[in-house]
Amino acid sequence: MAGALGLHVITTQLPVAFISATKQTFRRASVIRCAANTPNKRYTIAVLPGDGVGNEVIPVAVDALRLAGSLEGLDLRFEELLIGGVALELVGVPLPEETLRKAKQSDAVLLGAVGWHVLIIVDFFFFFDKQPKWDNSPKHLKPITALLQLRAGLEVFSNLRPITVFPQLVDSTYLRKDTAEGVDIMIIRELTGGIYNAHPRGFTTNEQGDEVGFCTESYSASEVNHIARVAFDIAKQRRSKLCSVDKATILEGSMLWRKRVTAMALEYPEVEVSHLLIDTAAMDLVRYPRQFDTILTGVMFGDILSDLAAMIPGSVGLLPSAASDRLQGPGIFEPVHGSAPKHYGKDTVNPLAAVLSAAMLFRYGLKEENAAQRIEKAVSDVLDRGFRTRDIHTPGATLVGCKRMGEEILRSLDARVSVSNGSLV
């Protein structure tokens, strides 16, 4: 079937204990019919399942990429690589040099999750324990360091996190139905500056002999300009409303942030610009989220707001993300739910965030809009047909696991409905 689809999988040479997520997809994807289109574009996708439920949701996303791409005449080559806790166990570092090198050579990176798991190898299979093995490890030997290193290595600086309430799932929201209906927000978060990345930072002892941990909240004008231009450009493509979130009443970095965003607004007279403090923005996201279209903010505030906003659609299992430099090089596309150790291995996790991340990979990474829309329409169709994983299940819906949800997405994709005019292709 792989040859008939014109698609290939390239896997690295790994210890026998490693089970390929992309090879798993071939076994599950045998129901896929061959595309009528002859492949005319070729892309290489670096696949990094990582830890925990990344190994369950990424195979589903790869299946969706493969079929949607095939229907659009795309030849997608998947190269699976190690990252996170599984990389620590197998090769001793969270981000192997080979992973970073091949990620840089790819057209896009599909990432599952990195997280706190002990890898236990039994009879050539690997399992994840649920204990935080690396809590006391040096920072450079923690799984999360791999994500920071990958972002730095690929020089991505903008994080796109769409928050959309599907009309089929409005009853799953944690807010009142009338508050959540119609919410469609894009949160744009700066990734490479601010308190997560700036120096100096570290540990010391003060004059009283107390141990002190410190970080630096710092943004340069060029860093703010870089991310602000991305936000203005995206706001223009949406509803031309941009809200910049900061803490300019206290933090000097935020004062500069607001100054630079205000200055850049003069270049975009068609975009309505507002500024909110982080605490007000957090309250308004819960009180009246429909007022927001595009939100621009820094690395820490964006981390907080995007996770808070995850409760508006009803589950973090619905939220995709993209990290990109918007100019050159591969972007990173990943679900935001993390490794979710308590759900790993139970076939209960929601794969829609990973599948929607695949749609973002097509749209922002490969600039293949039709393929992106195919996936999004398939997700909507599956929800229309009443299939729900446990996190979004409501009375009257059909409760399914991760694998079954993936199969239903493939069925919807394989209906081959044209994204341009609704006719069969």
Domain boundaries, the chain: 39-118+135-156+325-416, 174-312
Q: Indicate if 307 belongs to the active site.
A: yes
Q: Is the pLDDT of residue 257 over 90?
A: yes
Q: Is the pLDDT of residue 118 over 80?
A: no
Tell me what the mean pLDDT of segment 13-34 comes to.
Answer: 45
Q: Classify residue 30 by its DSSP letter.
A: G
The region of weakest confidence among 95-99, 124-128, 349-353, 370-374 is 124-128
Tell me what the mean pLDDT of segment 107-115 comes to.
Answer: 94
Q: Indicate if 381 belongs to the active site.
A: no
Q: Indicate if 247 belongs to the active site.
A: yes
Q: What distances in angstroms separate CA 47 from CA 22, 96, 103, 110, 289, one per listed residue?
A: 8, 14, 9, 5, 34
Residue from 75, 130, 184, 196 carrying the catalytic annotation: 196
Q: Residue for token digits 């992106």?
A: 372
Contact assessment for residue 141 and residue 88, using Cβ atoms and an 8 Å cutoff: yes
Residue from 288, 307, 346, 384 carrying the catalytic annotation: 307
Residue from 41, 177, 259, 279 carrying the catalytic annotation: 279
Which amino acid would we find at residue 234?
A: I
Q: Collapsing DSSP states into helix, strand and coil, what is residue 327?
A: coil
Give domain 39-118+135-156+325-416's CATH number out of 3.30.300.30, 3.30.1340.10, 3.40.50.620, 3.40.718.10. 3.40.718.10
Tell me what the mean pLDDT of segment 414-425 comes to.
Answer: 54
Q: Is the pLDDT of residue 14 over 70?
A: no
| Secondary-structure breakdown of the chain: helix, strand, coil percentages, each rounded to the nearest 5 | 40, 20, 35
Q: What distances in angstroms separate CA 345 from CA 108, 113, 116, 214, 309, one per listed residue?
A: 27, 14, 15, 38, 27
What is the model's pTM?
A: 0.84
The three state secondary structure string of 154-201 is: HCCCEEEEEEECCHHHHHHCCCCHHHHCCCEEEEEEECCCCCCCCCCC
pLDDT band at 38 (very low <50, low <70, confident <90, very high): low
Q: Is the pLDDT of residue 11 over 70?
A: no
Domains 39-118+135-156+325-416 and 174-312 share a fold: yes
CATH class of the domain defined by 174-312:
alpha beta
Contact assessment for residue 186 and residue 234, using Cβ atoms and an 8 Å cutoff: yes
Question: How do strand 272-277 and strand 241-246 relate by DSSP bridges?
Answer: parallel
Q: Residue 162 corresponds to which tokens in the numbers above?
A: 């769409």
Q: Which pLDDT value is given to residue 301?
A: 96
Q: Is the pLDDT of residue 39 over 70?
A: no
Tell me what the mean pLDDT of segment 144-151 comes to.
Answer: 90
Q: Is the pLDDT of residue 43 over 80?
A: yes
pLDDT tens by residue, 296-343 = 999 999 999 998 998 899 888 899 999 987 656 799 999 988 887 778
Residue from 247, 293, 344, 381 carrying the catalytic annotation: 247
Q: Cis peptide leading into 200, omega within 30 of 0?
A: yes
Q: Indicate if 303 belongs to the active site.
A: yes
Q: Residue 54 corresponds to which tokens in the numbers above?
A: 């990344």
Q: Residue 354 corresponds to which tokens in the numbers above?
A: 């990973």
Q: Which pLDDT value is given to residue 405?
A: 97
Mean pLDDT score across all residues of the chain: 86
The 10 Å Cβ neighbour count of residue 424 is 7
Which residue in 237, 227, 306 sits closest to 264, CA to CA?
227
Q: Classify residue 364 by its DSSP letter.
A: I
Q: Residue 246 corresponds to which tokens in the numbers above?
A: 């900061």
Q: Indicate if 51 belongs to the active site.
A: no
